[in-house]
Amino acid sequence: MTVKRKKLIVVGNGMAGVRAIEHLLKLAPEAYEITIIGAEPYPNYNRIMLSSVLAGGASLDEIIINDLEWYRSFNITLYTGHTVTSIDTAARTVYTDKGVTAVYDELILATGSNPFMLPIPGTEKEGVIAFRDIKDTQIMQDVSQKYSKALVIGGGLLGLEAARGLLHLGMDVSVVHIHEYIMERQLDEAASRMLRGELEAQGMKFLLKKQSEAILGKKRVKGLLFADGEMAEADLIVMAVGIKPNVMLARSSGIEVNRGIVVNDYMETSLPGIYAVGECAEHRGIAYGLVAPLYEQGAVLAKRLAGAPTEGYAGSVTSTKLKVSGVDVFSAGQYNEQPGTKALRFQDETEGIYKKLVIQEDKLIGAVLFGDTNDGAQLFSMIKKGENIKGREKELLLGLEADALASPKGNRLEGMPDDEIICGCNGVTKGTIAEAITAGGCTSVGQIKACTKASASCGGCKPLVEGLLQLYAGEAAVTVKEGICGCTTLGRDEIVAEIKRMKLTTVKEVMHVLSWNTEEGCPKCRPSLNYYLGMLWPEEYVDENESRYTNERYHANIQKDGTYSVVPRIYGGVTSPAELIKIAEVAVKYDVPLVKFTGGQRLDLLGVKKEDLPKMWEELDMPSGHAYGKTLRTVKTCVGSTFCRFGTQDALGMGIRLEKAFERLNAPGKVKLAVSGCPRNCAEATIKDFGVVAIDGGWELHVGGNGGVHVRATDLLCVVKTDDEVLEWASAFLQYYREQAGWNERTAQWIERVGLDSIKQALESPEERAALVERIQKTLSLTTDPWKQIVNTPELRKNFEAISLPETV
Amino acid sequence: MTKLLIGNLNDVDIKGSRKLRVGDTEIALFRLSSGEVLAVENRCPHKGGLLSEGMVCGSKVHCPLHDWRIELHTGEVQAPDTGHVTTYEVEVDHATGSLYLTI
Ligand SMILES: Cc1cc2nc3c(=O)[nH]c(=O)nc-3n(C[C@H](O)[C@H](O)[C@H](O)COP(=O)(O)OP(=O)(O)OC[C@H]3O[C@@H](n4cnc5c(N)ncnc54)[C@H](O)[C@@H]3O)c2cc1C
Ligand code: SF4
Ligand code: FES
């Protein structure tokens, strides 16, 4: 006998609707025949991550939460690219703009919200967009290829994330904000000022106290006119001034609507059998614009639909975090002071740290953290619990005791309900984590991450996950020792020491002798062992190509569509017309779709088919630029005394000399150098692994800089007089880094870990420096150009080609 | 079912891989350190990563895009992820080194 399933339709294929369905499928997998209708042409994706896509931290593919296979595996009928235009609530039928008609027993409205567009003339012009969906993100990416000037209207969370992304795309970005200071809804003036300073340092510009009046331009936007008569040029305007619940469909169907679709504690609307969740819903007068509350709503709705008991949804306390690299901003609860509240503040402008706690009747009701947001998760959890903090205020302000959560009295976590979300990014509840530990046998944060995805994204919840691990695994958790990867319990230093002591010479031998618990290692330990062995035994060790990442195996960067890129070596960034013609000819011949300058001043030919790589290398007949490897990448230079009127030294000559000296060097991480001809530092040498800045009569040597995700300015290592000394110190520093750092550890992380002083000490004595120089020279003398080698060796070259058409036998 | 002569053992490096196309299907061919030669469909069930570009560890390949692990004997995706790729039978003629694929 087949039980007749009830028909459930969801309008809106976004985060809230699909989340509710995921939950429902766990509680009552057989109860409903489910149809989801969504206006966007994609499966369900993580909207939050659009900011990361724009800022270069993720690709569009990576943000899909449920792919088409998921819908299929649960027999969900999915219509993408369909907008529901009307609901016949009497006949329980929905209609879409593409002619689909579907009947329901129960209906969920999860239509999200629409971006608010300022009611000023010109918003319909080409180049004026919001920041809401994949389409907007793609427009920004496209525009950045052709145009340079962007304006973002709105200095709130979304606006700043959009602006940061546009900076990443290479645009000149100004944020227009109507208030005197940015993020005024989350921060007070002091914290906001500090934030602005940080963002300005990253290159963002601000037009504050500006009221936008009209968008200029004929067909395409040209600029923005302000109420004060001033004007700003723009090729792109992104409006991020707010959102409003998308209630059109509900309203025209006769469902009660206020600001959002009005729902009760069980997410029921005014009509029977119709529910609403997410940004379109208004619960107890509040329409939320964040993911955590709508996940909580989804959980309640799923229980209701599954017929499981639930106390209902009682509203949420929210927290927000600015997802901009290099700045940490967190705010939660009621962070503005009001009558009846008291605030405690800590402000340290030298370190760029600001904290504020808002307290009412001995309870923590809000917090703002800037610069150091480590305590955010704990404070947020205290706000939600509403616990009495009398007598502990200062301790909380100045930092929670590190093990406060693990201590026996830290039963805050114990009392937390099972369905409370611990990891907001991935929507993992306390119950799920607890189960992974007790039933799933996880004994480390890494394992919990692998099996539940908790703390796998922004990592903000890691302290809570650690706390839960302590709580449920107790002793077992403390005793696990994590090695360089899951295959061993040994750390980097132990492994290197054992290799030296026992003179181990192959990857296989190391794994065997040191009792690896996997057959042949994993993509983490294999490349690291390959590196350590090569570093320790430069003469004897034969590099294991199979233990290198794809990029290093094929000597080209794999791009998201499976094509590769080619960056020929151009020493010091100095080229010639003849060389340019050669590169251009090869690019034309192989139909290279995109040619651009890399961040390190070299030419990048992108979108090359793997089969074409060896032929292109051959025809270019230039050395590999190693733009794909953990090795010396480029030495960036300014023009220096050769042409510049300020230059005091020959930056070009020094750059070329350094690049030739360290070309092809294997290192724990990628290594970037730069040379500037005077302290104006046009080559930005102070964010490189090794930076050289000319001063009158000598050179300043800087180390440990990084311009990547975590920007770090260099520390000054020393000042030297002659060019030869620059070479000597650079060699000694790089070799010491090669010998001491863990695989995959950039100089910036390494210096933060071991401290600048320990490095200065190690390089202090001329004898020690000479020994390091000798060791690096030995290593360098043994390198060969990989492109040439592949071009000339059929045995290596075959791996770039597919096996030719097989024949039937 | 067709049996195809696809080449020789030497065409694939140990712990390496090659790809080939038969009709509409792209196939990745692996040679393990144990000497076995195995073939699977060249598409990761996660987001379509090319398995032929991945790292081979034991009898498993790690997808180059997001590190899913796939057992090459059975085509099963390893926990915590789930899924399956199609496997194909490969015969090695040890006398001549010829490789035959059944599809
Ligand atoms: C760039 C960006 C960054 C963000 N960052 C964060 C963050 O860091 N933290 C956080 O908590 N939140 C963040 N948010 C907010 C978060 O993404 C939203 O709160 C969440 O996506 C809302 O989910 P929802 O399901 O209610 O709406 P949505 O995810 O917007 O889904 C609604 C869907 O319904 C579809 N739809 C609407 N009407 C119809 C119709 N008539 N027929 C068919 N389909 C329809 C829409 O096309 C849309 O796909 C961010 C949002 C953006 C845009
Ligand atoms: S760093 Fe000095 S020498 Fe080099 S380009 Fe700038 S101003 Fe000129
Ligand atoms: S595509 Fe293979 S792991 Fe993601």
Pocket test for ligand 3, best of B42, B44, B81 (most atoms within 8 A of CB): B44
Are B7 and A806 a contacting pair at CB < 8 A? yes
CB atoms within 10 A of CB A361: 11
Cβ(A669)–Cβ(A688) below 8 Å: no
DSSP string, A478-497: HH----SBTTBS--HHHHHH
Residue nearest to atom 3 of ligand 3 (CA): B66
Q: Is the CB of A73 inside 8 Å of chain B's CB atoms?
A: no
H helix intervals, A575-642:
577-589, 613-620
pLDDT at residue number A436: 87
Q: Which of chain B's residues have a Cβ under 8 Å away from the Cβ of A67?
A: 47
Residue nearest to atom 37 of ligand 1 (CA): A111
The finding on whether A274 has its CB within 6 A of some atom of ligand 2 is: no
Geometric angle at alpha carbon A86, from A83 and A91, rounded to 5°: 130
Residue of A163, A164, A157 lying closest to A182 (CA atoms): A157
Instruction: Report pLDDT digits (tens) over A349-373.
Output: 888 888 999 999 989 999 988 888 7
- The number of C-beta contacts closer than 8 angstroms across A and B is 83
Task: Flag residues of chain A having pLDDT under 50.
Answer: 1, 401-410, 479
pLDDT at residue number A72: 92
Instruction: Report pLDDT digits (tens) over B37-69.
Output: 999 999 999 888 889 999 999 999 999 887 889
Comparing alpha-carbon positions, the chain A residue that sits nearest to B12 is A799
Query: Shortest CB distance from A802 goes to which of B13, B21, B59?
Result: B21
Beta bridge partners of B60: B57, B71
Alpha carbon dihedral A70, A76, A81, A85, in 10-degree steps, equals: -150
pLDDT at residue number A402: 41
Q: Above pLDDT 70, what percent of chain B? A: 100
Of all atoms in ligand 1, which is nearest to the CA of residue A19?
25
Geometric angle at alpha carbon A275, from A273 and A276, rounded to 5°: 165
Distance B56 CA to ligand 1 centre (A): 40
pLDDT at residue number A659: 97
Question: How far does A5 lie from chain B, in Å, by closest CA?
Answer: 27
Question: How far does B74 lie from chain A, in Å, by closest CA?
Answer: 17
Q: Is the CB of B84 inside 8 Å of chain A's CB atoms?
A: no
pLDDT at residue number A55: 83
pTM (predicted TM-score): 0.53
pLDDT at residue number A410: 47
Strand order in the sheet with A715-720: A632-637, A671-676, A690-695, A698-703, A715-720
Q: Which of chain A's residues have a Cβ under 8 Å away from the Cβ of B14?
A: 546
User: Cβ contacts of residue A1 below 8 Å, gap of 6+?
Assistant: none
B33: pLDDT confidence band, cut at 50, 70 and 90?
confident
Task: Establish how many alpha carbons lie within 13 A of residue A561's alpha carbon, considering only the half-sphere containing its beta carbon.
Answer: 7
Q: How far is CA A111 from the centre of its chain?
A: 27
